[in-house]
């Protein structure tokens, strides 16, 4: 009897809460896909850094399911509250509270299995797609394998079950009251308007705006000038309080402004009135949704930035395999190091004489905060520069007697803004800047940027030191690294002491000796793991945000159906009713974005400050816009699905 009733209710619940179930299935699919990646042996064997990659994915997986568990917990409470009249009717029929709880949880178990099956099936496809992406980044040849398949199913089932068990334990409190009147009045608790006295409401709104401005300014100041935990926590607390304050009071003011001198029946008035009544009963949820919006956009932006950053990083640092900057002019050490590299099938070799000058007119424009005594301009002769260009796959350039060019790389794309075309002084003579080049050619091996002059202009000068660059055929970079390190230790030169987080120390090559493949692999593993983790956690926040918002809207379908039926009876056309529904859905979906937008914009500025030494602001904005496009696309899908479901229920 209980199972039959539960099965019937599960079918109905599945229809009513389809969007919620789709979100749970998507979360399970992402969990399964991550687990597939974690259990791939090829990734684990890539380098020692792969262990960190695995830990990042495990953390992302655990955090995602923790967020999903909170969503399930919220939805369980939400469903129980919305079905309280039904449960009160069960009690009138003589069914005990414990049996009502069993009915409800049998329904949830049935829906759990449905979500799990669909989630794993979708996860198989998503896992392979994710595997293709990761393999493409890591340079592996993709092939379909069922490696770690059963482990992934077991782990995914386990963590999903744990999320539901978490909600089950929480539900004891929901079913604690056993009086019929409690069940009947329970649904009405969510319908209490949050509208305050208009003067109190205005004060709350103004104070919230002030707190938001203070919080955003403090947050920006904390990251820009004085990064400390206390300032960070205070700023975040102020922002959270202000978001909830604006959510509870902002729409009341907006409502009055929009309806001022417009009391007549119009689509706009009805949309605002219908939406306002809903917002007044869910201000806390809207505040939470605004925070989820900021977290989602920020984390996904970071994920996209890391993914795109590696592509540029790989192109820049893969032009030469081994680089040694002989900053101490130790010719004997350089010769010994060169002899070791020559054992590894050298295909191309370049020696770059590096000149230094105190003519720092350009340096001052790029790094105005540097002390002048530490400013030195770097110059490379044109013939050597052209050799580097040829070895990197680019065409040679030419310069007139009075011209120079600047070579830099993708991390300094703002140089064109800082260094306008014009005349600059070097070596007691004025030269005209021809252009600024950004081609990928291991520029940072010499300097973040350097000036290129004709060879004749440098004949009277002595190079400060030379930088050596080698291109190799097939080689084992670990073997090369070990031999270079052994030689450096024996000679007692070009090494540095490194420390682990537990205090253990070891010796490695100094910064002026680099092996590109080793650097790229380490960056590849860390950035790929970070990008995947951030993107998927950000996606979970979007899905949870959209699901909570959608379910709050769809839960009122029965109430609004009566209102729309009245409008239909008084002669409102079907097209106008559809327009009214669309406006209502649109306002409710846009409101959390308006709340979170100021915080999101400050987050972009903060991200640009954090990465200012690695990438320019325009690059960060471009990646942010890419993320915003992904966010809007997902948001629109949920909004359209909500609109279609809502419209079918209240009009058609």
Least confident stretch, 43-47, 263-267, 337-341, 615-619: 263-267
Q: Is 546 domain-assigned? A: no
| Pairwise CA distance, residues 170 & 175, whole Å | 10
Single out the residue of 521, 349, 380, 515 nearest to residue 447, CA to CA: 380
User: For residue 420, is it within any domain?
Assistant: yes
Contact (Cβ atoms closer than 8 angstroms) between residue 209 and residue 242: yes
Nearest CA to 115 out of 203, 30, 52, 240 is that of 30
Q: Would you give the distance in Å from CA 76 to the centre of its chain?
A: 28
Decide if pLDDT at 568 tops 70: yes
* Interatomic CA distance for residues 42 and 317, integer angstroms: 24
Residue 454 lies in a domain: yes
**In-domain check, residue 137:** yes
Write the CA distances from 402 to 48, 415, 463, integer angstroms: 51, 21, 21
Please tell me the least confidently modeled range out of 237-251, 384-398, 606-620, 638-652: 606-620
Q: How many beta carbons lie within 10 A of that of residue 92, not counting itself?
A: 10
The answer to whether residue 198 scores a pLDDT higher than 70 is no
Most confident of 127-141, 179-193, 469-483, 598-612: 469-483
Largest CA-CA distance found in the chain, in angstroms, rounded:
104
CA dihedral over 364, 365, 366, 370, signed as positive or negative? positive
**pLDDT bracket for residue 1 (50, 70, 90):** low
Give pLDDT, residue 466.
Answer: 92
Residue with the larger pLDDT of the pair 283 and 443: 443
Mean of the pLDDT values across residues 79-84? 70
Which residue in 476, 484, 485 sits closest to 506, CA to CA? 485
pLDDT-wise least confident of 16-20, 39-43, 269-273, 485-489: 269-273
Among 140, 165, 191, residue at a domain's last position? 191
By three-state DSSP, how is residue 587 classified? helix
Residue 488 included in any domain: no
Q: What is the predicted pLDDT for the residue at 501?
A: 46
Q: What confidence score (pLDDT) does residue 273 get?
A: 60
Residue 280: pLDDT above 90? no
pLDDT greater at residue 89 or residue 162: 162
Q: How far is CA 485 from the centre of its chain?
A: 37
Q: Alpha carbon of 65 to those of 149, 152, 613: distances in Å?
A: 19, 14, 34
Q: Is residue 275 part of a domain?
A: no
Does 443 score more than 60 pLDDT? yes
Average pLDDT over residues 409-422: 81
Is residue 332 scored above 60 in pLDDT? yes
Distance of CA 395 to the CA centre of its chain: 38
- The pLDDT tens digits for 49-69 are 556 667 777 778 888 888 888
Is 597 inside any structural domain?
no
Domain range enclosing 349: 322-474
* pLDDT classification of 369: cutoffs 50, 70, 90: confident
High-pLDDT (> 90) share of the chain, %:
9
Distance (Å) of CA 11 to CA 108, 151, 357: 11, 31, 79
- For the chain, how far is it from start to end, CA to CA, in angstroms? 34
Do 187 and 327 sit in the same domain of this protein? Answer: no
Provide the CB-side half-sphere exposure for 400 (13 A, CA). 8
pLDDT of residue 155: 84
Give the pLDDT confidence score for residue 241 in this predicted structure.
84
**H/E element, 514:** strand 513-515
Give residue 193's pLDDT.
47
Half-sphere exposure of 445 (CA within 13 A, CB side): 30
Alpha helix positions (H), 225-281: 229-259, 267-279
pLDDT band at 395 (very low <50, low <70, confident <90, very high): very high
Element containing residue 377 per DSSP (H, E): strand 377-381
CB burial of residue 484 (10 Å; 0-12, 13-18, 19+)? buried
Q: What is the pLDDT of residue 217?
A: 81
- pLDDT for residue 86 is more than 80: no
Q: What is the pLDDT of residue 34?
A: 80
Q: Give residue-wise pLDDT tens across range 498-515.
A: 655 445 566 778 888 888
pLDDT band with cut points at 50, 70 and 90 for residue 190: very low
pLDDT band at 379 (very low <50, low <70, confident <90, very high): very high
Q: Average the pLDDT over 1-30 and give the result.
A: 70
Looking at 474, 489, 512, the residue that finishes a domain is: 474
- What is the DSSP pairing of strand 465-472 with strand 346-357? antiparallel
Please say if the pLDDT value at position 259 is more than 60: no
Q: What is the 3-state secondary structure (H, E, C) of 186-205?
A: HHHHHHCCCCCCHHHHHHHH
Half-sphere exposure of 393 (CA within 13 A, CB side): 10
Selected residue with higher pLDDT from 512 and 495: 512
Average pLDDT (358-363) is: 84
How many distinct structural domains can be found in the chain? 2
Q: Is 575 exposed, middle or buried (0-12, 13-18, 19+ CB in 10 A)?
A: exposed
* Average pLDDT value for the chain: 78
User: What pTM was estimated for this model as a whole?
Assistant: 0.72
Asked which of 459, 474, 489 is the last residue of a domain, the reply is 474
Length of the chain: 652
- Please tell me the predicted confidence (pLDDT) of residue 398: 92
Separation of alpha carbons 502 and 426, rounded Å? 49
Please check the confidence at residue 142 and state whether its pLDDT lies above 90.
no
- The answer to the question of residue 1 being in a domain is yes
Residues 30 and 177 placed together within one structural domain of the fold: yes
- In this prediction, residue 36 has a pLDDT band, given cuts at 50, 70 and 90, of confident
Task: Name residues whose C-beta falls within 8 Å of residue 428's C-beta, 6 or more positions apart in sequence.
Answer: 359
Q: Is 147 helix (H, G, I), strand (E, B) or coil?
A: coil
In the prediction, which pLDDT does 502 show?
47
């Amino acid at each position: 009897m209980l199972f039959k009733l539960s099965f019937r209710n599960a079918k109905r619940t599945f229809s009513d809460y389809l969007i919620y179930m789709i979100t749970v299935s998507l979360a399970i699919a992402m969990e399964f896909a991550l687990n597939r990646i974690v259990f791939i042996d090829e990734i684990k064997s890539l380098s020692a850094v792969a262990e960190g990659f695995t830990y990042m994915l495990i953390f992302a997986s655990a955090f995602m399911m923790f967020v999903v568990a909170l969503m399930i917990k919220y939805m369980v409470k939400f469903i129980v509250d919305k079905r309280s009249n039904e449960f009160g009717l069960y009690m009138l029929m003589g069914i005990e509270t414990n049996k009502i709880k069993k009915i409800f949880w049998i329904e949830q178990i049935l829906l759990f299995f449905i979500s799990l099956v669909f989630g794993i099936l979708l996860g198989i496809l998503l896992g392979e797609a994710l595997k293709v992406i990761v393999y493409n980044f890591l340079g592996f040849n993709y092939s379909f394998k069922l490696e770690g398949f059963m482990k992934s199913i077991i782990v995914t089932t386990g963590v999903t079950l744990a999320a539901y068990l978490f909600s089950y334990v929480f539900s004891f409190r929901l079913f604690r009251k056993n009086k019929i009147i409690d069940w009947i009045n329970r649904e009405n608790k969510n319908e209490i308007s949050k509208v305050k006295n208009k003067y109190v409401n205005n004060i709350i709104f103004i104070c919230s705006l002030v707190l938001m401005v203070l919080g955003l300014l403090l947050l920006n100041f904390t990251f820009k000038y004085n990064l400390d935990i206390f300032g960070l926590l205070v700023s975040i607390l102020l922002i959270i309080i202000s978001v909830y304050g604006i959510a509870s009071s902002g729409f009341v003011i907006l409502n009055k402004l929009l309806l001022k001198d417009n009391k007549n029946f119009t689509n706009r008035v009805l949309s605002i009135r219908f939406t306002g009544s809903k917002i007044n009963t869910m201000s806390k949820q809207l505040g939470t949704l605004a925070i989820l919006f900021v977290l989602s956009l920020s984390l996904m932006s970071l994920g996209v930035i890391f993914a795109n950053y590696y592509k540029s990083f790989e192109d820049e640092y893969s032009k030469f395999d081994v680089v040694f900057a002989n900053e101490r002019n130790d010719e004997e050490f350089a010769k010994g190091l060169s002899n070791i590299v020559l054992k590894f099938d050298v295909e191309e070799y370049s020696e770059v004489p590096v000149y230094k000058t105190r003519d720092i007119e350009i340096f001052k424009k790029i790094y105005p905060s540097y002390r002048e005594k530490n400013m030195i301009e770097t110059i490379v002769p044109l013939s050597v520069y052209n050799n580097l260009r040829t070895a990197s796959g680019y065409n040679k350039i030419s310069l007139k007697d009075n011209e120079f060019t600047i070579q830099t790389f993708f991390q300094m794309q703002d140089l064109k803004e800082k260094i306008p075309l014009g005349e600059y002084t070097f070596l007691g003579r004025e030269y005209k800047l021809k252009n600024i080049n950004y081609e990928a050619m291991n520029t940072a091996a010499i300097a973040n940027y350097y000036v290129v002059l004709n060879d004749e202009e440098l004949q009277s000068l002595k190079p400060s030191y030379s930088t050596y660059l080698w291109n190799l055929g097939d080689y084992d970079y670990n073997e090369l690294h070990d031999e270079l390190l052994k030689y450096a230790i024996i000679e007692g030169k070009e090494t540095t002491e490194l420390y682990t987080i537990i205090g253990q120390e070891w010796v490695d090559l100094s910064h002026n000796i680099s092996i590109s493949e080793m650097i790229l692999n380490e960056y590849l593993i860390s950035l790929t793991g970070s990008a995947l983790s951030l993107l998927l956690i950000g996606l979970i926040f979007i899905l949870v945000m959209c699901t909570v918002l959608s379910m709050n809207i769809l839960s009122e379908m029965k109430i609004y159906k009566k209102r729309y039926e009245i409008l239909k009876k008084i002669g409102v056309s079907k097209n106008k009713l559809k327009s009214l529904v669309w406006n209502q859905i649109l306002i409710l979906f846009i409101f959390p974005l308006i709340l979170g937008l100021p915080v999101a914009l400050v987050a972009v500025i903060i991200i640009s400050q954090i990465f200012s030494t690695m990438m320019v602001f325009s690059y960060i904005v471009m990646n942010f816009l890419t993320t915003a496009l992904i966010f809007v696309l997902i948001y629109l899908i949920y909004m359209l699905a909500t609109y279609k479901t809502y419209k079918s229920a209240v009009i058609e």
